[in-house]
Amino acid sequence: MHEVVNPFDLQPIGSVPTADWETVDGYLAKAYALYRDRSQWKKPHERAAILHRAMEIMKERRDHLAFQVANEGGKPLVDARVEVDRAINGMELCIHEIGALKGTEIPMGLTAAGDGRTAWTTREPIGVVVAVSAFNHPLNLIVHQVAPAVATGCPVLVKPASDTPLSCFEFISILHEAGLEEDWARAVAPPRDASEKMVTDPRVAFFSFIGSAGVGWGLRSKLAPGARCALEHGGVAPVIVDATADLDKAVPSLTKGGFYHSGQVCVSVQRVFAHSSIVDDLAAGMTEAAKALKVGNAIHEDTECGPLIRPKEVDRVAEWIEEARSGGAQILCGGEKLSDTTYAPTVLLNPAPDATISRNEVFGPAVCIYSYDDVDAAIAQANSLDVAFQAAVFTNDLGGAMHAYRNLDASAVMVNDHTAFRTDWMPFAGLKTSGHGVGGIPYTMHEMTIEKMIVIKA
């Protein structure tokens, strides 16, 4: 059994069964056999009914699921409840999108060669899906990876993060309770070598990965020929705050975007480029807001920033901030470990552009503010890294907003909102080394199907 602990006090809270390669191989064999036997495929209304029943079970257990997210992942209860609500909504999105899984008519009379023929396409499940997930949204990420597979009719095996497997195993159990046979969806907790064998097995048609870039790109290079994949890694999200920005609105938004889940979000606000005329006011406002955040055990109602997922991550964040301090950055607040598992929300002013925290995803409670005079120079610095995901601009100038939108390297630019904004139906994609493919439930369901054409000669 694999033991799970609360990341704040490191006390055991549960366990999940481990699976060796022989077990995983058996699950893959059954999943592949289900896919190859078309008589076993579930009809759209059957898939929709299972997802609907599972959604209703989740609604009934909302409080329990939220507490579990907080308890195993360290996400404050107020945010954990939002995560569960999003997961429930994600189930509804999957049900709705089943009706959108349709093909198109292909015009055949455009040349003499095609004349006399009728053609159209339909969509079919791609095959066995294997998903590997991350710790920071232990229920909603699983819903994003598993529910689309169920909705499209793909058998699925999912490996949750080793720190946060309880929510995943419970979600799979809820699907079974809702009527999905066990061989259609399995949660597994294998060791690293068995995990890699599972991902790269030739029976796998689609690989869904959420986690670090090094692991994701490495696994992609080892996929079996023909396997498709979607990779979601992280970024070092940039924000432009120009001289016209409304700081009364920008400060709380940036504070939420930077310190939500203690910064352990792939599009968390990390680099804020503020015009020199307002940088001092913005920095003072964010410093005051960060100092006011309550740090503690995520299962407590008044906690606003929980622990980092592991003590070694606290040590890493501390090292990065000390390096920035030694390099000339001003530490406006925080800058210290509060315990072995928590770090104080930290605001840094003008760390060196080549500091580790300026160039790498911190995944911790730290926001860097940089002063600029030339917006194009700020955008160039924002674009200087090998990662690109979501970005933002705070401005009351439409021209400034459009200039930032056109010139920032990003798959999405938020105007007067923080970089971590997301709805579960919008496209969500990392560029450069930040990912491959497009997430978001409708887009994932599209990726998990193939378009198949029939051509009839009259």
Q: pTM for the complete prediction?
A: 0.95
Integer Cα distance of 54 and 184 in angstroms: 14
Q: Nearest-CA neighbor of 5 among 343, 340, 344?
A: 340
* Domains identified in the chain and CATH numbers: 2-233+434-457 (3.40.605.10), 237-415 (3.40.309.10)
Q: Does the CA dihedral 299-80-431-94 come out positive or negative?
A: positive
What is the residue-wise DSSP string for 310-363? Answer: SHHHHHHHHHHHHHHHHTT-EEEE--SBSSSS-B--EEEES--TTSHHHHS---
Torsion of CA 218, 219, 222, 227, to 10 degrees: -140
The H-or-E segment that residue 454 falls in is: strand 449-457
Integer Cα distance of 100 and 94 in angstroms: 10
**Residues designated catalytic:** 232, 266
Name the residue with tokens 């095609």: 114
CB-CB contact of 444 with 238 (8 Å): no
Q: Nearest-CA neighbor of 320 among 280, 288, 285, 365?
A: 365
Integer Cα distance of 174 and 137 in angstroms: 18
CB-CB contact of 27 with 203 (8 Å): no
Integer Cα distance of 368 and 347 in angstroms: 6
Q: What is the pLDDT of residue 422?
A: 94
Q: What is the pLDDT of residue 411?
A: 97
pLDDT in tens, 327-381: 999 999 999 999 999 999 999 999 999 999 999 999 999 999 999 999 999 999 9
Residue type, 128: V
Beta-bridge partners for 19 = none
Q: What is the pLDDT of residue 458?
A: 84
Name the residue with tokens 């939220």: 66
The H-or-E segment that residue 125 falls in is: strand 117-125
Name the residue with tokens 């507490």: 67
Portion of the chain with pLDDT greater than 90, in percent:
100
Integer Cα distance of 74 and 429 in angstroms: 25
Integer Cα distance of 186 and 41 in angstroms: 17
User: With a cut of 50, which residues of the chain have pLDDT below it?
Assistant: none
Extended beta strands in 128-251, E state? 128-132, 156-159, 185-187, 204-210, 228-232, 237-241
